């Protein structure tokens, strides 16, 4: 079950010129403009979710919405408007368990994740990772 997705606000180029125009019109009708990102949530799930689950899902989807980086890893800005350039990003850590098992957390670059996993939750325990349409679509 997918309960949340994060997508770019601007329609995809693969839609073709006509498809992009229709999608842009629809999004503009909804929001009055084309937003940088659109987060879509399942309303039925939202009504029964705990506060911690709802916050975890929103935060998860917001992490997918990020400012793009240039070739020097600096934040990217549009040269004509000066506004930030946004992109969709994957997870901070994507690694095979076997690599971590064989070479360790430091070699795999996930030491911070191990430390975060070993600590108590800062807010509350919640489980939403398998319900994110953005994540499921990437696998």
Instruction: Specify if 98 maps to a domain.
Output: no
| The total number of structural domains that make up the chain | 1
Q: Whole-structure pTM over 0.75, yes or no?
A: no
**Model confidence over 43-91: pLDDT tens digits?**
999 999 888 888 888 888 898 999 999 999 999 999 999 999 999 988 7
Closest residue by Cα to residue 134 from 76, 64, 66: 64
Query: Residue 127's pLDDT is what?
Result: 67
- What stretches of the chain show up as alpha helix (H) in DSSP? 16-31, 43-48, 51-64, 97-103, 105-108, 111-118, 133-138
β partners of residue 41: 4
What CA–CA distance (Å, rounded) separates 43 from 59?
A: 17
Instruction: Specify if 96 maps to a domain.
Output: no
Instruction: Specify if 41 maps to a domain.
Output: yes
* Domain that includes residue 39, residue range: 4-90+128-138
**Terminal CA-CA length for the chain:** 15
**Model confidence over 22-48: pLDDT tens digits?**
999 999 999 999 999 999 999 999 999
Instruction: Specify if 18 maps to a domain.
Output: yes
Instruction: Specify if 118 maps to a domain.
Output: no
For the segment 8-17, the average pLDDT, to the nearest whole number, is 82
């Amino acid at each position: 079950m997918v309960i949340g997705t994060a997508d770019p606000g601007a329609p995809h180029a693969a839609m073709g010129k006509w498809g992009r125009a229709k999608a842009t019109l629809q999004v503009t009708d909804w929001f009055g403009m084309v937003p940088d990102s659109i987060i879509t949530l399942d309303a039925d799930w939202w009504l029964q979710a705990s506060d911690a689950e709802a916050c975890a899902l929103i935060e998860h989807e917001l992490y997918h919405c990020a400012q793009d980086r240039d070739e020097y890893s600096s934040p990217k800005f549009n040269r004509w408007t000066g506004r930030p350039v946004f992109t969709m990003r994957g997870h901070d850590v994507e690694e095979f368990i076997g690599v971590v098992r064989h070479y360790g957390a430091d070699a795999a670059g996930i030491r911070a994740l191990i430390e975060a996993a070993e600590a108590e939750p800062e807010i509350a325990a919640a489980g939403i990772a398998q319900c994110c349409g953005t994540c499921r679509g990437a696998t």
